[in-house]
Amino acid sequence: MQNEQTLKNYEHYLNLITAEIEKMFEAQKEYICCKNGCSLCCEQGMYPFSEIEFEYIKQGFVDLPENIQQIVKSNCQKLANKVGNGDFLYECPFLIDGSCSVYKYRGLICRTFGLISENASGKLTIPYCAEEGLNYSKVYDKNTHRILEGSVKYEGYSTLPKAYNLSRYNLMFGIVKSLNFDWGESRLLIEWLVEYFDIDTSCEVNSVQN
Ligand code: SF4
Ligand code: SF4
């Protein structure tokens, strides 16, 4: 359990990291077509969250109207059996009618959806939505999983796409250096939520089988 001051320190860090991520989006704006109502990035992920990220998103949850809280809880109950059955790609339980119900409180990974990521050894991760005709799709080859420099020129883009180191480690410790809080352990979002809501996963598995 994190105390109020720790969460304030985390909020300060979030302001700094979010500003850095916004600069990345600004630099890539030619390739980005995110808009309200587009939510593919929240529909098929694993969503790792550290303890402090989860404590923070819980603040967003408790501020929701009761009927929305019930929807989130019911989403979690349905998801518990999916994950219990080994399916770790799922729609985020906070996604309601195509929008994040806790947007201000979303996790680190959520803030990077849509950018190209590169890990320390240079391996690229192209956003899922490039396959769906969205970000970077005009310069991305689905078959070879590569960015096509020829298409950049052909499409008239002024710069080549850039990849950023958006690994969790870099987001947590690399981009913003001085932190006044501990991240705590990391788990998948649904694992935190199952514990928080005290969901009986064995009952959920039975209900699927029936
Ligand atoms: S917390 Fe919000 S932004 Fe993050 S995956 Fe869930 S719905 Fe999407
Ligand atoms: S990252 Fe992709 S799926 Fe998500 S809002 Fe942007 S365009 Fe849509």
**Cα 205 from Cα 79, distance rounded (Å):** 10
How much of the chain, in percent, has pLDDT values that exceed 90?
76
Residue nearest to atom 5 of ligand 2 (CA): 34
Decide if 72 is inside a domain.
yes
Res. 208 pLDDT band, cuts 50 70 90: very low
Interval between CA 97 and ligand 2 midpoint (Å): 15
- Number of domains within the chain: 1
Does the pLDDT value for residue 84 go beyond 80? no
Residue nearest to atom 3 of ligand 1 (CA): 110
Res. 177 pLDDT band, cuts 50 70 90: confident
CB 9 within 8 A of CB 52: no
Owning domain of residue 170: 4-199
Decide if 68 is inside a domain.
yes
Confidence at residue 123, expressed as pLDDT on a 0 to 100 scale: 86
Q: How far is CA 28 from CA 21, 57, 76, 153, in A?
A: 11, 28, 34, 15
**Looking at residues 34-42, what average pLDDT do you find?**
89
Decide if 209 is inside a domain.
no
Mean predicted lDDT score pLDDT of the chain: 91
Interval between CA 44 and ligand 1 midpoint (Å): 11
CB 116 within 8 A of CB 122: no
Decide if 210 is inside a domain.
no
Does the pLDDT value for residue 207 go beyond 50? no
Decide if 149 is inside a domain.
yes
Does the pLDDT value for residue 139 go beyond 90? yes
**Looking at residues 61-87, what average pLDDT do you find?**
91
Confidence at residue 2, expressed as pLDDT on a 0 to 100 scale: 67
Does the pLDDT value for residue 173 go beyond 80? yes
CB 43 within 8 A of CB 91: yes
Confidence at residue 1, expressed as pLDDT on a 0 to 100 scale: 60
**Looking at residues 44-63, what average pLDDT do you find?**
96
Indicate the Cα dihedral angle 133, 137, 140, 145, nearest 10°.
-40
CB of 96 closer than 6 angstroms to any ligand 1 atom:
no
26 torsion bin: left (phi>0), alpha (psi -120 to 50), beta (else): alpha
Nearest to 190 by CA among 95, 65, 66: 95
Q: For residue range 93-117, list pLDDT tens digits in order.
A: 999 999 999 999 999 999 999 999 9
Decide if 207 is inside a domain.
no
**Cα 146 from Cα 123, distance rounded (Å):** 11
AA identity, residue 66? E
Ligand whose nearest atom lies closest to the CA of 113 = 2
Decide if 56 is inside a domain.
yes
Confidence at residue 63, expressed as pLDDT on a 0 to 100 scale: 97
SS3 82: helix
Ligand whose nearest atom lies closest to the CA of 190 = 1
Decide if 120 is inside a domain.
yes
Task: Please name every residue paired with 186 in a beta bridge, in sequence order, or none if there are none.
Answer: 50
Q: For residue range 11-22, list pLDDT tens digits in order.
A: 999 999 999 999
Confidence at residue 53, expressed as pLDDT on a 0 to 100 scale: 98
AA identity, residue 155? E
CB of 100 closer than 6 angstroms to any ligand 2 atom:
no
Confidence at residue 178, expressed as pLDDT on a 0 to 100 scale: 79
Res. 209 pLDDT band, cuts 50 70 90: very low
Nearest to 32 by CA among 141, 148, 164, 127: 127
**Looking at residues 37-66, what average pLDDT do you find?**
95
Interval between CA 181 and ligand 1 midpoint (Å): 23
Interval between CA 124 and ligand 1 midpoint (Å): 22
CB 9 within 8 A of CB 176: no
Q: How far is CA 206 from CA 22, 40, 201, 209, in A?
A: 44, 29, 9, 5
Nearest to 79 by CA among 94, 68, 99: 94
